[in-house]
Chain A
Amino acid sequence: DQQVKQNSPSLSVQEGRISILNCDYTNSMFDYFLWYKKYPAEGPTFLISISSIKDKNEDGRFTVFLNKSAKHLSLHIVPSQPGDSAVYFCAAGWAQGKLIFGQGTTLQVKP
């Protein structure tokens, strides 16, 4: 059973525009959610997180929104830059520290 799903395998946006990456989850017991970015031949790099008691967290160009009633979270990148091109993973976790990852979305930002 896939508890965390990223239904869009890929996304292409123009430089300067907004990128919106989506993630759905099924387990309402998750305590927190994170977004990671991954370049080829590197490990995932932490981007931003949000606690289950919040609905928004912002860090520079990155904002994560959490809609608990819909069991949905999204990552907004504004403005998008070519260097943002990578695979983005959402992950959900419990207090026990185990993370459940989605399948990833490949973002391409065109100059």
Chain B
Amino acid sequence: ETGVTQSPTHLIKTRGQQVTLRCSSQSGHNTVSWYQQALGQGPQFIFQYYREEENGRGNFPPRFSGLQFPNYSSELNVNALELDDSALYLCASSETSGRTDTQYFGPGTRLTVL
């Protein structure tokens, strides 16, 4: 059984560019959540996907968007990058949504915006 994987590990972009981050969920998990972790802070919820539909969103602007595919892998897209978007982006998967399900995290993608 493979855990949650994310790609790429590190990424450097310039302000105004667009970025796509990828996540493969743990085997058997149909829910994927994305979090942004700024330096010295806890992870902040961006949004969650359950069976290819967005299932909740945190306090992030529309330029943060996502997709979930039939195999339950997921993408996070960020348009018009800003300097403050520099952070560790974490993906977490869980077995179902709407219950007290434990979320399992990937290693994250470190995004630097210059």
Residues 2-24 of A at the B interface (beta carbon under 8 Å)? 4, 6
Residues on A with C-beta less than 8 A from B101 are 97
Residues on B with C-beta less than 8 A from A6 are 42
| Contact between chains at A95 and B100 (CB < 8 Å) | yes
What are 23 A-B interface contacts by the 8 Å CB criterion? A4-B42, A34-B103, A36-B105, A43-B4, A43-B6, A43-B105, A46-B102, A46-B105, A49-B100, A91-B42, A96-B55, A97-B31, A97-B50, A97-B101, A98-B48, A99-B43, A99-B92, A101-B35, A102-B42, A103-B40, A103-B42, A104-B40, A104-B41
Binding site for B on A (CB under 8 A): 4, 6, 31-32, 34, 36, 41-46, 49, 51, 89, 91, 93, 95-104
